[in-house]
Amino acid sequence: MAARLAILRAVTLDVGGTWLTVRPSVGHVYAEMAAAWTGRRFEPARLTRQFVHAWRRRPDFDHSRAAWMEIVDETFAGLVSAPPSRTFFGDLYRRFGQPDVWRVDPALPELLGWMRSRGLRVGLISNWDLRLRPLLRALGLHDAFDVIVISAEVGFAKPSPAIYLRAADQWNLNPHEILHVGDELLHDFRGARQAGFRAVWVRPGLAGPTHMAIGSLSQLPDWLRQTGLASRMGT
């Protein structure tokens, strides 16, 4: 009962897939970098499919440089004579650290302002590598968040409760005073709830908020109102 009635004091956001996406696609960026090295053209849609297949085969992906190298090699398997790990992987790895590869959800700035105006603290909890902080700075967003918890820095990855509790500890808040927002059912929604956080699942395309999900970040204020949390927000 106490957790249900507690004040909501902070919101943490996932990053990739929640408000930051590759543009125009992973396959397009891979194709661009491979073409620059080989002088050949590659089909972005095929590269995207092969990347997704390689990604899904690694549910415990650790976001290390070596792990990314394995995914890239598998993505290009059968398409290049020498694996990217021996040729252009370094260029590709650096490319994904550059801001023009990424699209920020246009709803993010307004949402951040809305939450701040209601006394909420805002943070990030992300399974990402050491490129994330420099990328956030390049996007002009690093200082928009009070707390930034990155799996590669803390040694824990979602859905482990440890990465969520690191954010709660930095704020000196009880977990149930924090709402986590993310696009992965296991890593974000279930992981956050296991840590004692409130949680809402971002399911792109959902027409409107449900008891556990929103279709986009722009629906978060409505979800907070519908759940009654909007009346229990503050510092």
DSSP 141-166: -GGG-SEEEEHHHHS--TTSHHHHHH
10-13 and 121-126 strand pairing: parallel
pTM over the 0.85 mark: yes
What is the C-alpha separation between 61 and 72, in angstroms, rounded?
13
- The CATH number of the structural domain formed by 23-100 is 1.10.150
Among 35, 26, 44, 24, which Cα is nearest to 80's?
35
Are 190 and 159 within 8 A, CB to CB?
Answer: yes
pLDDT digit string, tens, across residues 11-66: 999 999 999 999 999 999 999 999 999 999 999 999 999 999 999 999 889 999 99
pLDDT digit string, tens, across residues 120-140: 999 999 999 999 999 999 999
| Average per-residue pLDDT for the chain | 95
| Structure tokens belonging to residue 99 | 């801001």
List the chain domain ranges.
2-19+105-232, 23-100
2-19+105-232 to CATH, choices 3.40.640.10, 3.40.190.10, 2.30.110.10, 3.40.50.1000 = 3.40.50.1000
When pLDDT is cut at 50, 70 and 90, the band that residue 5 belongs to is low
What is the C-alpha separation between 103 and 82, in angstroms, rounded?
31
